[in-house]
Chains A and B, each alone.
Chain A
Amino acid sequence: MGSNPRTVPAPMIVEDWDQLTFRVNREAYRSAEIFTRERGWVWMHTWLYLGHETEIPNPNDFKVRTLGGRPLIFCRDSAGEVHAFLNSCPHRGTVLCRENEGSARLFQCFYHAWTFRNNGEVAAIPDASAYESSDEFRASMALRSMPRLEIHEGFVFVSFDPDMPPLLEHLGDAADYMTMIEQQHVGGMTTLPGTQLYSVRGNWKLAVENAMDGYHFAPTHNTFVGYLRESGFAVTDDNQYAYNLGNGHGLLVLTGHGGRISMVWEPRFGEDERVRTERHRAEMTQRLGEKRAHHVADESHILFVFPNLLLFDIEGLSIRQLEPVAPDQTDVRAWQLVPRNEDPAARALRMKTVVSFVGPGGLATPDDIEAYEAVQRGIQATAGTGAPELDYSDMSRGMADEVKAVQGRSIDEGAMRGFWRQWIEATGLDDGLEIHGERPASFLVGRDVR
């Protein structure tokens, strides 16, 4: 791919430490060439979020899922081990499993009845004697496994590249925020049925930016903020921060955008929930210690794990996976992650509260979708004109603080800049990064919560 002549105009990103500006070339959201490059470079050579272990809790459970445009089977074999296979018969390429989910010891291709065990081994090839060396042949026809699969706190990641560093190395500082999720409740967390599957007419990177962007919250979610205020919650953007966690991962730490079921009470949750919250919060302090319990319970976290996972650890917890399907279209999948063995009243309150905000039917996410769709349409205005310098989006907010080693606020754009720096490296478009001046020595990466 690297040998293809580049038709994309340079520079892709201009980072200017003299002017304190950071600008992204809008071709990044529009170009078919860049989209192909992302599929070939980013999606083929990065750890990708596949799914949560609790989606396939029992031996023989399976789900099918597309990652980077490739159909996969995500399953647990009869012995309980988690696998990811290409969902394509090694014989002639037919989609092997045509159900979205279920329980199966065997996957049988309907086309010629080749049959595979759920650990990938060939179970049967009809009339195998027709093949010259049938044992060897049979072994060569096992299901194609994803070269790498590792699990952190129930979150299952895969890679098409066998030479990736270990998952925890890739996750870096992001890993602990996933551990914090698992620590919220003594019995751990589980996903629920009821997956939000939807698609937006916008580039996937607009969805990443939107999640790492506290600046939009007040104007874009004006009606939702109004609803919270009326119900007695004092919404604020003060004292909230955005962190560039390195490796493209980003984090918003929010304390003024809403309560947290079972951890931070607000009036709309009702009196019963106040009692439950006090009890649970005390249990957390005892189990985790004061400081750890504070980070786990009192802060909302929006975590982006490069390139395709967003964790909204806010009122409740939503896992959101981004699957780019075209430069201007992204499939989105969202699961609700909840405490195991939760009190039914708390569970009902949680589900209602979570979907009142997130998802295409919520009171807030539709306005985010409107934003990225409006950007995708709007950036046509500056495409290919005689003034290429206008065809850039600005993400400079907070750089003036960044040079002074002051932590960026949630309403700044530092987490976005961290994403874009990783993106340009991961796409192999490094020569499209133009830096003026010196990145300051005080430049902050990561967050110390220990």
Chain B
Amino acid sequence: MTGIGNRGLVQCAGRTVTRQEVEDFLYAEADILDHWDYDGWLALFEPGARYEIPTTDYRPGWSPHETGSFVDDDWDLLRARVKRLKSRKAHAENPHSRTHRLVSNVRLSGESEDSFRVSASFVVHRARDGHFDAYVGWYDHLLVPTEDGLRFRLRRSILGHESLAAGARLSFIL
């Protein structure tokens, strides 16, 4: 995803996808998550999609099937995670963290017949228990254009930290 060859638009699934469309999608997702609308969030995925957060020692090319991870959710686990987060018994997120998300540096690349890659930077601020934690990193997503708009095939958040700081657990969606 590096280099100056990345474009602000890709051809995919028989149409043109622009950076603006992708930005609108990511901004809408940030808003959904900041408002704790997890059903709305799950609707942004195609069935069978995955959610991943590699560990902080991640190196490009590592597969969650062959290394340790923070999150390695297939479609079943992703739905279990959402169900859990909606429960009052998800103690780590009851009461909920307050989050505020910034998304930037959006770039499109690597289109195949029906999907393309998006990289973007994120800063997520999280307030809870009298603390204010910042999570910084980049997204490395695989998106698919559908009749109903863009959908996640793979949603991956890669942390820029050397380790997770005190209190900075990943009990909410990063």
Contact = CB atoms under 8 A, between A and B. Distances in A.
Nearest to B161: A197
Interface stretch (A37-45, A329-337, A418-426): A329-337
B162 A367 contact: no
Given A351-B66, A356-B77, A361-B70, A195 B171 contact: no
A192 B169 contact: no
A355 B80 contact: no
Interface residues of B, number: 43
Nearest to A191: B68
Interface residues of A, number: 43
Contacts of A347: 65-66
A355 B92 contact: no
B2 interface: no
Nearest to B84: A223
Most buried by B among A195, A196, A197, A223: A223
Contacts of A370: 91-92, 171
A200 interface: yes
A373 B62 contact: no
Interface in A350-366: 351-352, 355-356, 359-363, 365-366
Interface of A: 100, 192-201, 220, 222-224, 226-227, 268, 329, 331, 334-336, 344, 347-348, 351-352, 355-356, 359-363, 365-367, 369-371, 373, 377
Contact of B129 (A222, A336, A352, A377): A377
B73 interface: yes
Contacts of A100: 57
Given A355-B71, A367-B91, A199 B66 contact: no
A192 B66 contact: yes
Contact of B69 (A197, A199, A220, A351): A351
Nearest to A336: B68
Contacts of A224: 84
B171 to A, nearest CB: 4
A352 B58 CA distance: 16
B102 interface: no
Given A351-B66, A363-B84, 11 more contacts: A192-B66, A196-B70, A220-B91, A224-B84, A331-B163, A351-B68, A355-B64, A355-B68, A355-B69, A363-B80, A367-B90
B166 interface: yes
A344 B65 contact: yes
A351 B77 contact: no
B5 to A, nearest CB: 29
14 contacts: A192-B67, A193-B62, A224-B84, A226-B89, A331-B163, A351-B67, A351-B69, A352-B73, A356-B72, A360-B170, A361-B71, A363-B84, A365-B169, A373-B167
Contact of B170 (A329, A366, A371): A366
A450 to B, nearest CB: 33
A198 B90 contact: no
A197 B166 CA distance: 10
Interface stretch (B7-15, B30-38, B48-56): B48-56
Nearest to A359: B70
A198 B163 contact: yes
B81 interface: yes
A355 B57 contact: no
B138 to A, nearest CB: 17
Contacts of A359: 68-70
A97 to B, nearest CB: 15
Contacts of A193: 57, 59, 62, 67-68
B116 to A, nearest CB: 25
Interface in B154-174: 162-171
A196 B164 CA distance: 9
